Amino acid sequence: MATATPKAKPAERIKMRVKKGDTVQLISGKDKGKTGEVLRTLPYENRVVVQGINLRTRHVKPTQEGESGRIVTEEASVHASNVMLYSSSKQVASRV
């Protein structure tokens, strides 16, 4: 008798309270207190990519003959619960 394998659940999309272009402030983590603009939202993972926050360096191998490798700095995603909407005019973060 074969064992039953569990079926993969379809990924559930989470309602995001921030959208692309919003200004947000980080409320936890190593970049706590920094503000930036949301570049991308990942609703299936409940994460956002914020400009200048959570920077990671990646070593890229050369793709063509004669080209040299390089080090690229790019933003990694942060969990949506770690960001809060930020009002640039009033200089204060607000709960959503």
Q: What are phi and psi of 71, to 5 degrees?
A: -110, 120
pLDDT, one tens digit per residue, over 65-75 is 888 999 999 99
**Domains of the chain (ranges plus CATH)?**
23-61+70-94 (2.30.30.30)
Tokens of 28: 């936890």
Q: How far apart are CA 64 and CA 30, in angstroms?
A: 37
pLDDT, one tens digit per residue, over 53-96 is 999 999 999 988 888 999 999 999 999 999 999 988 888 888 76
DSSP 79: E
Q: How far apart are CA 72 and CA 90, in angstroms?
A: 35
